[in-house]
A and B are shown apart, each in its own frame.
Chain A
Amino acid sequence: MGPLIPNGIIGGGWDFVIALLLGIAFGFILEASGFSSSRNIAGVFYGYNFVVLRVFFTAVIVAMTGLLFFGYFGWIDLNKIFILPTYLAPMIFGSVVMGFGFLLGGFCPGTSYTAIAIGKLDALVFTVGLFLGIFIFGEAFPLFKDFYYSGYLGNVTLTDVTGIPPGWFAFAFTIIALASFWVTMLIEKKVRKNIKEYKF
């Protein structure tokens, strides 16, 4: 029963081999979907290319419902999987800062690695920026240490916070995603008629 490595079914020595293989698959999917181009990615904010929304939402739906089924069939012990901890205020702040970075840079960290691989200099500069940003953060850390650890709620899920079963969230998210696929298809058609700066 999964998760395989935490349950000792696959030995810890395979960790890095598995990391490399999963990473290769991740990079391949990102590049093949068109995420090695910042202009494809930024299109989600201007309505001329919704590839980010399509790939991202589809992936979340598949992974969410998949996990529920894996749990239901007893293939994975959902109590043993890592839940990202929530630090309310710093996470809200961090996401807004990342939003600015996303719009200015046109990449997020994972996509920038694949763009470097195919020769995009802007992606290389973006990654240098990531390095500098984290370095600045690290050096200045004592100044905002208290804020960084503030608003801690623990490793909580939506269900822990609301009491609503996860299946309902997966269902609601699926409906929202399907509706957004349809609406953005219409928007994209309209916007593309009036844009000349970007070739499709």
Chain B
Amino acid sequence: MNNNKQHYINPYLGGVLLGILVLLTVYITGRGLGASGAVKSAVVTTADVISPAHAEENAYYSKFISDDHSPMYTWLVFESLGIFFGGLLSGIIFGRVKKLRVERSPKITKKTRLIAALIGGILFGIGSQFGRGCSSGAALSGSATFALGGVIVMLLLFGTGYAIAWFFKKLWI
């Protein structure tokens, strides 16, 4: 892989900037950052478009459907669009935007990596709904605002990763 000399910013600088951003976000909006909520909005919208009756009957989707606007018209969808463009901007500045590629450990094939990524995404999607948020909304913003639930998600999300890392070693090293 050609990423042996990457120019990333100092992680502690990144952390300070991210902390200030969380602080600023809470100061302006009264709540923190998020990410998984945007995909949830996309799922609810898709269900609502394909079968409105089914979506309204569903006790979960119906929580996020309102009569006056689309489920896509929410704060987190716009914020997540921003995440994409912000990533693109940084990628352009630091020269990391390149043609489509799969990043993987040399010990596994492209196919293995993509299957693991798909299963990982599915599990993360399911878990984030039970957890009331993912690493951004629950673990980061939740912990920063001293929410008990946020700290639980932070500890158990990373804790589980450590507990099972040995079994999936080949995927990464």
Q: A91-B130, A101-B124, A137-B60 are in contact. Are A24 and B21 (CB under 8 A)?
A: no
Chain A residue total in the interface (Cβ 8 A): 130
The answer to whether B39 touches A45 (Cβ under 8 A) is: no
Question: At the interface, yes or no: B53 with Cβ under 8 Å from chain A?
Answer: no
Which one, B60, B61, B136, contacts A109 given CB within 8 A?
B136
Q: A2-B28, A45-B161, A85-B149 are in contact. Are A101 and B60 (CB under 8 A)?
A: no
The answer to whether B83 touches A23 (Cβ under 8 A) is: yes
The answer to whether A195 touches B127 (Cβ under 8 A) is: no
The answer to whether B147 touches A129 (Cβ under 8 A) is: no
Q: Is the interface of A mostly helix, strand, loop or mixed?
A: helix
Which one, B20, B149, B164, contacts A99 given CB within 8 A?
B164
The answer to whether A25 touches B21 (Cβ under 8 A) is: yes
Tally the A-B contacts, defined by beta carbons under 8 Å: 526
Chain B residue total in the interface (Cβ 8 A): 129
Give the residues in chain B near A2, CB-CB below 8 Å. Answer: 26-28, 30
The answer to whether B19 touches A160 (Cβ under 8 A) is: no
The answer to whether A63 touches B19 (Cβ under 8 A) is: yes
The answer to whether B86 touches A199 (Cβ under 8 A) is: no
**Distance in angstroms between the alpha carbons of A63 and B149 in the assembled complex:** 17
Q: A48-B173, A70-B27, A82-B145 are in contact. Are A27 and B83 (CB under 8 A)?
A: yes
Which one, B91, B124, B142, B155, contacts A36 given CB within 8 A?
B91
Which one, B39, B81, B144, contacts A60 given CB within 8 A?
B144
Residue-by-residue, is A139-171 near B (CB-CB < 8 Å gives 1, otherwise 0)?
101100100100001011111110000100100
The answer to whether A66 touches B19 (Cβ under 8 A) is: yes
**Distance in angstroms between the alpha carbons of A61 and B58 in the assembled complex:** 40
Q: Quick one: closest B residue to A105, CB to CB?
A: B120
Q: Quick one: closest A residue to B19, CB to CB?
A: A62
Q: Quick one: closest B residue to A155, CB to CB?
A: B147
Question: At the interface, yes or no: A182 with Cβ under 8 Å from chain B?
Answer: no
Chain B contact residues, CB within 8 Å of chain A: 1, 3-4, 6, 8-9, 11-12, 14-33, 35-36, 38-40, 42-44, 46-47, 58-61, 75-76, 78-91, 93-94, 96-107, 113-114, 116-165, 168-169, 171-173
